[in-house]
Amino acid sequence: MTSQSIPLIKQLVALIRLKPFHIFSPTGITFGYILSQSHLVIHTYPEEGVIHVDLAICSDRSQREFENSLKCVLSGHGDFSIEVKTLEFKG
């Protein structure tokens, strides 16, 4: 059963592994941003060399657009790999 009142909700999640990385003290920072029709949360795990990015949006953006945006932001900051997953809920 679908409802016209429930919007598209898409969640894009990326796990970024940094190589090499530096261990900071104190470890780990979490940032949260509430945007007009979405939210962005960034968790850092410097002891593991990992950044977790969670973007929930109400528009139909592709996983490739999200990954390319992250690559653009991280370019010039050393070697890294990105694994992106998409969760999508439709009303």
87 token code pair: 């969760």
In the set 22, 36, 43, 75, the catalytic residue is 43
- Catalytic residue check, 22: no
Q: What is the DSSP letter of 28?
A: -
- Catalytic residue check, 58: yes
In the set 25, 36, 39, 58, the catalytic residue is 58
23 token code pair: 């261990």
- Catalytic residue check, 38: yes
20 token code pair: 């090499």
Distance CA 14, CA 69 (A): 11
- Catalytic (active-site) positions: 38, 43, 58
